[in-house]
């Protein structure tokens, strides 16, 4: 499963990238607004750092405007790894069809049901983003739709990738991987939480302490 960061914070992206495990980045208007920087500059900076797909979201809601905005982002960022994020609304489906027909990769965002994902894939989306955490928040099992989307895409051999989004904790990542999501996008805090385990830290301290017991001249082999 590929690991994406869900952030527009370049320091977090740089740090995760240095670990050698980062496959891509997703942003959204809320995350970009939090950074208080020029939107296209932020996307350019991320694209220069990360080789994999980088999602940048449109903020218009009519088909023509979404198409225009999507093409504008592609042209002005000028990086081959930009993916245009389009919301799962009626106007969005038309925009997905138009953009994907011109070879622009689209990530359909705000997916909350399996049939929404089916329509997005039929319209030509390269990625669908089911929002797991936000479904859990309202007492719906978010992972159930990942399972359903996986089964549907496999039944009909859709090439569209399942990008599990709104991931809130390491268990979400495990479930997404078990269910066959192609990608999980997560906040930096979740990525850090995955690394940490108290037994790893205790074990390392013990190994290092025991090593001290070996006389200096015997440590080099």
User: Per-residue contact track with ligand E4P, 45 to 84, x per CB under 6 A?
Assistant: ----------------------------------------
Q: Closest separation between CB of residue 18 and ligand E4P, Å?
A: 22
Q: Within 10 Å of residue 35's Cβ, how many Cβ atoms?
A: 15
The one among 5, 6, 16, 53 contacting ligand E4P by CB under 6 A: 6
Q: Closest separation between CB of residue 69 and ligand E4P, Å?
A: 17
Question: Is residue 166 within the footprint of ligand E4P (CB under 6 A)?
Answer: yes
Catalytic residue check, 85: yes
The one among 26, 63, 100, 116 contacting ligand E4P by CB under 6 A: 26
The answer to whether the CB of 118 falls within 8 A of the CB of 148 is: no
Place of tokens 């990086």: 79
Catalytic residue among 71, 85, 122, 159: 85
β-sheet bridge partners, residue 6: 26
Q: What burial class does residue 211 get, using C-beta atoms within 10 Å of its C-beta: 0-12 exposed, 13-18 middle, 19+ buried? A: exposed
**What gap in Å lies between CA 102 and CA 120, rounded to an integer?**
16
Question: Is residue 39 within the footprint of ligand E4P (CB under 6 A)?
Answer: no
């Amino acid at each position: 499963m590929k690991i994406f960061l869900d952030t527009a914070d370049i320091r977090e992206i740089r740090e995760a990238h240095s670990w050698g495990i980062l496959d891509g980045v997703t942003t959204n208007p809320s995350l970009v607004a939090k950074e208080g920087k020029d939107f296209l500059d932020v996307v350019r900076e991320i694209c220069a750092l990360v080789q994999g797909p980088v999602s940048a979201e449109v903020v218009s809601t009519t088909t023509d405007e979404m198409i225009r905005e999507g093409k504008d982002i592609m042209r002005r960022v000028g990086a081959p790894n930009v993916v245009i994020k389009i919301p799962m609304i009626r106007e969005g489906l038309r925009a997905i069809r138009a953009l994907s027909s011109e070879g622009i990769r689209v990530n359909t965002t705000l997916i909350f049901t399996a049939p929404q994902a089916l329509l997005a894939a039929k319209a030509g989306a390269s990625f669908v983003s089911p929002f797991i955490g936000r479904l859990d928040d309202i007492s719906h099992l978010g992972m159930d739709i990942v399972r359903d989307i996986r089964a549907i895409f496999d039944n009909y051999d859709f090439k569209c990738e399942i990008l599990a989004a709104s991931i809130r904790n390491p268990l979400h990542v495990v479930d997404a991987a078990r269910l066959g999501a192609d990608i999980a996008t997560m906040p930096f805090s979740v990525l850090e939480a995955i690394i940490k385990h108290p037994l790893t830290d205790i074990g390392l301290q013990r190994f290092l302490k025991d090593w001290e017991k070996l006389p200096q001249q015997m440590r080099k082999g």
